[in-house]
Structure 1
Amino acid sequence: MLPTFVIFPALIACVLIASGALKLPQRSRTLQSLAAFGVPAPLRKPWAAVALPVGEIILGAALLLLSGPAYLFAAALAAALMATYLVLVARSVSKRQAVDCNCFGALSTEPVSQITIWRNAGLTLAALLAIFLPGMALGVPTQLALFSVDDWLWLAATTTVALVGIVAGIVKPPVSAPTTTRDATAGQDFELVEGPDLISDPAARDAIPHTLELVSGDGAPELLYNLVVVPQKTTILIFARVGCGSCGPVLSQVGDWSRRLGDDAQIIVATSSSRASVKKSYPSALPHTYFGAKAATEFFEAHATPAAILLAADGTIASPPEFGGDIIADRVEQLVASFAAQRQSQPHG
């Protein structure tokens, strides 16, 4: 038996404990990530945002302390958990969903990617090796007792390299544009929209933050980035509220505007008003309305209502906010005309 095989359960234990400890203070982001990954609604409750990181910490400690059948059971749970993470990440990447996994709390703010898949695949393999390699059932303490000086040096070196690699993979500088692949025509839907502040060059646009969230009508947190990129639609983001005199005409037209835009674009209304008030006063706008708009309002500096911002299907911000019901109505009409002109210019046959 090679006692240095202990690196595998030790690595998984360290990752689990670090993940749980860093995730525990980020409960709202954990709920957001569960929703973005498509976890069933019964598991997207506040208790899950506590149970998941606490469970990771307990499982990591069990890998370090237990031996015999108890250790093997803990190692099997760890392998199943890592495999589950791998499947969720791979599914999201294949769908080009910009999901913030909150894997390591505040240290991980970038959306999942191919790098995340490879990292999770490596951790899944390590978890499996922690079950099936010779002598694993002895447990970590017994294996460490068998270490020579050379084994300790090897363990320290490989653990350092592994942890540095993991941290380097999750801590990245902020980016000004999303890294998702887009086709050659992405972001070009706005050429026919006449607006002095329109940012028609996709390379010059800022990205929608991957952590900015709204709340759907059923109370689930939703990443604004995903609401735009996943359906691959141009989005008119409207900030409005019930009781705002000039917001009324805008909210009353949202349903009709959405119908006229069809599959070319979508309207998202962000509001600080309650769901009940929107349902009562503007029921046709309710299917397009998201709540808890404070963070989005501050980010886009949409402090007066109504306000509208154009978001491109590639997850970038195509215009600064514009204010006033008449201006918003004009912009929607221009966008409708733009898409109609594009359809007419396309070859038929």
Structure 2
Amino acid sequence: MLPTLVIFPVLVACVLIASGALKLPQRSRTLQSFAAFGVPAALRKPWTAVALPIGEIILGAALLLLSGPAYLVAASLSTLLMAAYLTVVARSVAKRQAVDCNCFGALSTEPVSQITIWRNAGLTVAALLATVIPGMALGVPTQLALFSLGDWMWLVAIAITALLGIIASLVKTPAPTAASTAGAVSSGQDFELVEQGPDLISDPSARDMIPHNLELVSGDGSPELLYNLVVIPRKTTILIFARVGCGSCGPVLSQIGDWSRRMGDDAQIIVATSSSRASIKKSYPSALPSTYFGAKAVTEYFEAEATPAALLLAADGTIASAPEYGSEVITERVEQLLASFDAQRQAQPQG
């Protein structure tokens, strides 16, 4: 066995320890990720949000410190855990769900993607090699004690390369999704920056207009033009793309009724979905009054590549932001708008 192959258990151990340590303070996000990934309800408990990161830390430490049969058990469990992570991430990406995996706590806030799949696949292979390569059961301390200077140089070089790859996968941000079509909003503002004016939107001359032919279907089966839904009531509109069966859509759809109530006459929410009216009524009845169906054309125009997604439409019929993804991001943006409305109301003279 080449001594530098010890990089496999060392890499997996370091990733597990880092993942557990960074995930431990983020227990609420871990539970949200469980729900988004479709983890059975029996396992979506506060204790599991603590047990998982602690288990990762213990497993990582075991890979670094144990030898013999105990090491092989730890390596096998690591392989199974990495394979499980790979499976749920691949399934989520295949379903085009914008799920925040909370893999590395606050360092990983972007939805899972193909990059996440490749990263998890690499870690799964590393864990498997750490299990099956002859001589690995000697344990990491024994193998390191046999290292020559050249072995140490190779180990450091490989470790740095692997860590840089993992860091790059964490900090990489997705390219804007609506920058290349006629509906692109490259000149529009980011959702989080919209905070001025009676419509909460500034510089309308720089924005593209909502097309006049984008059609949705109301709950009673009537066709409705998206442009008319925004312009006729003259309201700032949060357009949300969500569907039943998307785990990360649940926290958004369950709040639609409350958000609409708190907005009052200041703004409105329109939910565009590919789900059926019956499924929305059964699972999220409070969202039904704000929901429109047959969302394929609208989804394709705005290039909402995953669910949940949300963007802002101005009361004058212009597009005020590009889509943003994930239940936490959408919740934060809506709460920002609600806070802006509250501030405006408080600033108005009392009659």
Q: TM-score, normalised by structure 1?
A: 0.60
Identity %: 60
From 229, 235, 239, give the equivalent of 2:260: 239
Deviation track 1:43-92 (CA, whole Å, cap 9, x = no partner) reads: 10000111000000000000000000000000000000000000000000
CA-CA distance at 1:3 after TM superposition: 0.9
Quote how far apart the aligned CAs of 1:171 are. 1.6
Q: How does 1:3-152 map to 2 (within 5 A)?
A: 3-152=3-152
**Counterparts of 1:257 and 1:167 in 2: how far apart (Å)?**
39
For residues 259 and 18 of structure 2, what CA distance do their matches in structure 1 show?
40
Whether the aligned pair in 1 keeps the contact of 2:8 and 2:127 (CA below 8 Å) is yes
CA contact (8 A) 2:35 2:248 kept: no
What residue identity is the alignment partner of 1:122? Answer: G
TM-score normalized with structure 2 length: 0.60
Mark the runs of 5 or more structure 1 residues left unpaired by the alignment.
200-204, 209-221, 229-234, 248-253, 266-289, 306-349
Structure 2: tracts of 5 or more residues without a match: 185-209, 216-225, 242-246, 267-283, 296-326, 343-351
Among 227, 231, 242, which residue is 1:191 paired with?
A: 227
Structure 1: how far apart are the matches of 2:11 and 2:86? 17
**AA aligned opposite 1:301:** L
Deviation of 1:97 (Å): 0.5
Contact kept, 8 Å, 2:252 with 2:331, in 1: the verdict is no
- Offset of residue 303 of structure 1: 5.9
Q: Residue 302 and residue 88 in structure 1: after superposition, are their counterparts in 2 closer, same or farther (change >3 A)?
A: same
Task: Find the counterpart in structure 2 of residue 275 from structure 1.
Answer: none
**Which residue does the alignment assign to 2:154?**
154
Q: Would you say how many aligned residue pairs link Structure 1 and Structure 2?
A: 246
User: Residue 302 of structure 1: CA displacement?
Assistant: 5.2
Q: What's the secondary structure of 1:239's corresponding residue?
A: helix
The 3-state SS of whatever aligns with 1:301 is: helix
Report the CA distance shift for 1:31/1:2 in structure 2 as closer, same or farther (over 3 A).
Answer: same
Cα separation, 2, equivalents of 1:137 and 1:23: 29
How many Å apart are 1:297 and its aligned residue?
4.9
* Aligned-partner residue type, residue 30 of structure 1: T
Corresponding position: 1:258 with 2:279: no
TM-aligned CA distance change 1:36 to 1:178, over 3 Å: farther
Cα drift, residue 240 of structure 1: 1.9
Is contact 1:176-1:207 (8 Å) kept? no
What's the offset of the Cα at 1:264? 3.8
User: Which residue among 295, 298, 318 is the counterpart of 2:335?
Assistant: 298
Query: 1:154: Cα distance to partner?
Result: 0.5
Question: 3-state SS of the aligned residue for 2:227?
Answer: coil
Quote the Cα distance in structure 2 between the aligned partners of 1:256 and 1:108: 31
Provide, for residues 20-62 of structure 1, a one-character-per-residue CA deviation record: whole Å limited to 9, x for no partner: 0000111110000001000000110000111000000000000
Pair 1:257–1:65, CA change in 2 (3 A): closer
TM-aligned CA deviation for residue 301 of structure 1:
2.8
> What is the aligned-residue RMSD (CA, Å)?
4.1
**Residues 12/29 of structure 1: CA separation in 2 closer, same or farther (3 Å cut):** same
SS at structure 1 position matched to 2:162: helix
Deviation (angstroms), 1:237: 8.1
Aligned AA (2:77): L
Letter in 2 for 1:258: L
